[in-house]
């Protein structure tokens, strides 16, 4: 792709001046230390003159796996006498779906309706080449029950929207027309999920509002006056409604495609194409990218794998391009390859599109921490080299994974910038514990990267005691306060990482000889009073509100007691003031879902509980001549 000097892409938008100023400010403030200012995009912040030289750079976005096209099913002439499945269960579906059933039967009395769990759901549509039993079983039930149309909903969060869209896509795939219900802010995500699956047109009934933030009467009224007309039109009319997805646009640029233009033109192309996060980048020229490729024995065109949700077929060169853009030094290439491999793990990746804003980060173990000059002490995630790798994670999410803000990365308030930290292996061994990777079975001397995600950061616990048991109690108390969602309303036994400064680790190790012993003790102590848990999950339910007239909090308490294994246990020490010796409690932690990392300022007594998603540990693969390459650097 070559952009001429007189092309429209060469013209700057009015917003460019503001953006360019921000870029310069960030370059000065964030990348001011030594070599960090190298080549920083946008390094030529002066306007291109008439003699500006053109550059040739790589596109940072790999091509996607070609999904098998799914043809939209023909619409029905009428709903009279038809069998309709209203499926799903997200975001007040127990209110909207029964109301839709009433509305359909009032207008089409001979229709037959299956509601909610009577048919089930397909779940998120699987990526190309993958078969999911849930989807296959759903399609079989649609056939067995003679379903003529599917209504799925409600899309009101970053994880439920692809799930509800999946039922529509599965129905369309076998020739059954469908329509999905989605709140305004999730319409684009539903369209994106359909396009990625090969369905160019997905009918959507748009709910203008927040499902769970409006009174029941408002929800019912909007179902009658807004959703139902859209649904009826989508199932019986042409698929050209405003709520339908549009055909997918051509890929921005295939892997390894060279783009040529002046610096100003390239800046605008990268911005307009959505290839940057708005911060300065380095131009990924062939010369710069080749410096990164020297730090791996893998061929540039070697395919690492296909990364959802955009299903990008990612090569080693694609990783090098994004690492070069991020401002990382070339010797970080093995780290970049390791994180890219971790991105393919479903357990780690699953929550990253959520409205709850899981932010990806990583920590490192092994000799590579010292070899690359990464920080594991005071202010580590803000140290220049650590921060540079955090920036790579951000660009990898955007360009390699295809996570785009407001499309399929749906954080309600946005996301923190990803970060990188390191365990202090020496301090860990000094207290008699094993570093995280050796605890998992890796041999001493092997360097690893562990990918994780966080929904909380910076709220430190400061033990005012050296007593190990009391510190353990404080950690458990902190864990009960820092769950997947605020006030412990979501899943209480979420994954957690505990960052422990060396001095506190030494105090704990005096009683708990291994990290596993410490985890077991914290798990046993981390209990939530049943009444608190029931209250939080009832009034702060992450998906739907309950109707107190038909489902009381007392009934919900009984359900929580049954489903979350409540037991009468000794009262947690932080609740001794209640005067009760025992209380009905539910667990806040499960064994195997925590990591204890010795890191941070050795001059400070701190513990940081970081709740989030599952972790994935990858052995970092170094080139055969690693030592020579480092010496040359």
Whether the CB-CB separation of 455 and 352 falls below 8 Å is answered with no
Task: State how far the Cα of 612 lies from the Cα of 501, in Å rounded to an integer.
Answer: 20
Q: CB under 8 Å to 104, separation ≥6 — which residues? A: 79, 84, 111, 113
| Predicted TM-score of the model (pTM) | 0.84
Q: What is the pLDDT of residues 329-373, one digit of tens each?
A: 999 999 999 999 999 999 998 889 898 989 999 999 999 999 999
List Cα–Cα distances, 414 to 95, 192, 219, 373, 410, in angstroms: 29, 19, 27, 31, 7
402: left (phi over 0), alpha (psi -120 to 50) or beta: left
Q: Nearest Cα to 325, choosing from 369, 279, 294, 361?
A: 279
Counting runs of H as helices and runs of E as strands, what totals does the chain give?
Answer: 22, 19
List Cα–Cα distances, 371 to 219, 249, 415, in angstroms: 59, 44, 30
- The three-class DSSP label of residue 610 is strand
Whether the CB-CB separation of 69 and 200 falls below 8 Å is answered with yes
- What does the pLDDT average to over 180-209? 93
> What's the mean pLDDT when you consider all of the chain?
89
Q: DSSP characters for 340-382?
A: HHHTT-HHHHGGGG-TT-PEEEEEEESTHHHHTT---STTGGG
**Residue 68 is encoded by which pair of tokens?**
């098998």
Segment holding 51, helix H or strand E = none
- Residue matched to tokens 């422990």: 500
The alpha carbon of 435 is separated from its chain's Cα centroid by a whole number of angstroms, namely 26
State the pLDDT at residue 127.
79
Quote the percentage of the chain above a pLDDT of 90. Answer: 75
**Residue 322 is encoded by which pair of tokens?**
């994004």
Q: Nearest Cα to 97, choosing from 219, 230, 191?
A: 219
Beta bridge pairs of residue 568:
584
Beta bridge pairs of residue 236:
none
Q: Nearest Cα to 155, choosing from 167, 138, 145, 173?
A: 167
State the pLDDT at residue 624.
96
Which letter, b or e, does each residue of 308-323 get, where b requires 16 or more Cβ atoms within 10 Å of its Cβ?
Answer: bbbbbbbbbbbbbbbb
Task: State how far the Cα of 74 lies from the Cα of 87, in Å rounded to an integer.
Answer: 20
Whether the CB-CB separation of 288 and 304 falls below 8 Å is answered with no
Structural domains present in the chain: 83-236 (3.40.50.2300)
Q: CB under 8 Å to 90, separation ≥6 — which residues? A: 153, 154, 155, 156, 157, 160, 163, 164, 543, 544
- What does the pLDDT average to over 236-244? 55
Task: State yes or no: cis peptide before 42, omega within 30 of 0.
Answer: yes
For the cut 90, the answer to whether the pLDDT of residue 6 exceeds it is no
Whether the CB-CB separation of 202 and 194 falls below 8 Å is answered with yes
The alpha carbon of 79 is separated from its chain's Cα centroid by a whole number of angstroms, namely 39
Q: What is the pLDDT of residues 130-156, one digit of tens each?
A: 888 999 999 999 999 999 999 999 999
- What does the pLDDT average to over 117-125? 91
For the cut 50, the answer to whether the pLDDT of residue 410 exceeds it is yes
Q: What is the pLDDT of residues 480-494, one digit of tens each?
A: 999 988 998 988 899
**Residue 319 is encoded by which pair of tokens?**
């990783």
Task: State yes or no: cis peptide before 620, omega within 30 of 0.
Answer: no
Segment holding 420, helix H or strand E = strand 419-422
Could you say which DSSP state residue 158 is in?
Answer: T
If one counts every other C-beta atom within 10 angstroms of the C-beta of residue 596, the result is 25
Whether the CB-CB separation of 96 and 223 falls below 8 Å is answered with yes
* Lowest-pLDDT choice from 32-36, 52-56, 204-208, 417-421: 32-36
Question: Angle, nearest 10°, between helix axes 15-30 and 263-272?
Answer: 100
For the cut 60, the answer to whether the pLDDT of residue 36 exceeds it is no
- The three-class DSSP label of residue 206 is strand
State the pLDDT at residue 126.
86
State the pLDDT at residue 542.
86
State the pLDDT at residue 49.
59
- What does the pLDDT average to over 60-82? 91
Q: Nearest Cα to 278, choosing from 3, 32, 42, 55?
A: 42
Whether the CB-CB separation of 531 and 633 falls below 8 Å is answered with no
For the cut 50, the answer to whether the pLDDT of residue 46 exceeds it is no
Q: CB under 8 Å to 601, separation ≥6 — which residues? A: 377, 378, 379, 501
Q: CB under 8 Å to 620, separation ≥6 — which residues? A: 334, 335, 337, 338, 364, 366, 368, 447, 448, 449
Q: What is the pLDDT of residues 383-406, one digit of tens each?
A: 999 999 999 999 999 999 999 998
Task: State how far the Cα of 146 lies from the Cα of 494, in Å rounded to an integer.
Answer: 40
List Cα–Cα distances, 154 to 126, 235, 311, in angstroms: 19, 17, 25
What backbone torsions phi and psi does residue 277 show, to the nearest 5 degrees?
-95, 15
For the cut 50, the answer to whether the pLDDT of residue 22 exceeds it is no
């Amino acid at each position: 792709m070559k952009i001429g000097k007189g092309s429209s892409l060469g013209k700057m938008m009015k917003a460019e001046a503001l953006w360019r100023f921000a870029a310069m400010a960030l370059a000065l403030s964030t990348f001011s230390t030594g070599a960090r200012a190298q080549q920083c995009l946008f390094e030529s912040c002066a306007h291109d003159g008439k003699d500006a030289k053109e550059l040739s750079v790589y596109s940072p976005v790999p091509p996607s796996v070609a999904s098998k096209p799914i043809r939209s099913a023909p619409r029905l002439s009428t709903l009279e006498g038809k069998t309709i499945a209203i499926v799903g269960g997200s975001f007040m579906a127990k209110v909207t779906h029964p109301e839709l059933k009433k509305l359909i039967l009032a207008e089409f009395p001979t229709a037959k309706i299956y509601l909610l769990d009577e048919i089930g759901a397909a779940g998120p549509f699987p990526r190309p080449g993958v078969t999911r039993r849930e989807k296959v079983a759903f399609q079989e039930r649609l056939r067995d029950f003679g379903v003529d149309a599917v209504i799925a909903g409600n899309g009101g969060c970053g994880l439920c929207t692809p799930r509800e869209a999946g039922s529509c896509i599965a129905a369309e795939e076998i020739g059954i027309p469908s329509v999905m219900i989605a709140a305004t802010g999730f319409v684009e995500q539903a369209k994106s999920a359909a396009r990625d699956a090969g369905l160019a047109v997905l009918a959507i009934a748009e709910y203008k509002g927040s499902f769970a933030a409006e009174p029941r009467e408002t929800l019912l009224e909007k179902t009658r006056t807004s959703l139902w007309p859209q649904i009826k039109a989508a199932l019986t009319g042409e698929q050209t409604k405003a709520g339908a997805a549009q055909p997918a646009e051509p890929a921005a640029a295939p892997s390894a495609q060279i783009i040529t233009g002046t610096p100003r033109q390239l800046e605008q192309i990268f911005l307009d194409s959505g290839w940057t996060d708005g911060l300065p980048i380095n131009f990924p020229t062939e010369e710069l990218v080749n410096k990164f490729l020297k730090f791996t024995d893998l061929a540039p065109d070697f395919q690492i794998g296909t990364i959802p949700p955009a299903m990008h077929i990612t090569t080693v060169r694609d990783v090098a391009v994004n690492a070069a853009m991020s401002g990382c030094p070339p010797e970080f290439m093995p780290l970049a390859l390791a994180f890219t491999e971790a991105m393919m793990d479903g357990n780690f990746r699953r929550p990253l599109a959520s409205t709850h804003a899981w932010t990806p980060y990583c920590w490192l173990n092994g000799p590579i921490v010292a070899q690359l000059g990464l920080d594991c002490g005071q202010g580590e995630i803000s140290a220049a080299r650590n921060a540079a790798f955090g920036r790579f994670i951000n660009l990898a999410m955007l360009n390699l994974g295809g996570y785009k803000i407001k499309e399929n990365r749906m954080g309600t308030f946005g996301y923190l910038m990803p970060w990188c930290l390191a365990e202090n292996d020496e301090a860990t061994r000094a207290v008699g514990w094993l570093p995280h990777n050796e605890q998992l079975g890796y041999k001493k001397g092997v360097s690893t990267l562990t990918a994780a995600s966080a929904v909380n950061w910076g709220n430190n616990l400061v033990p005012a005691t050296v007593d190990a048991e009391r510190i353990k109690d404080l950690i458990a108390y902190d864990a009960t306060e820092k769950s997947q969602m605020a006030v412990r309303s979501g899943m209480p036994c979420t994954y957690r990482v505990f960052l422990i400064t060396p001095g506190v680790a030494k105090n704990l190790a005096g009683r708990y000889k291994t990290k596993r012993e410490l985890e077991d003790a914290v798990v046993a102590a981390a209990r939530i009073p049943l009444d608190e848990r029931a209250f939080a999950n009832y009034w702060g339910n992450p998906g739907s509100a309950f109707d107190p007239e038909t489902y009381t909090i007392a009934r919900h308490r009984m359900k929580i007691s049954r489903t979350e294994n409540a037991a009468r246990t000794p009262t947690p020490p932080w609740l001794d003031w209640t005067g009760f010796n025992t209380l009905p409690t539910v667990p806040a932690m499960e064994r195997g879902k925590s990591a204890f990392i010795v890191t941070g300022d050795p001059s400070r007594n701190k513990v940081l509980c970081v709740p989030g998603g599952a972790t994935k540990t990858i052995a970092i693969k170094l080139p055969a001549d690693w030592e020579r390459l480092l010496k040359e650097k």
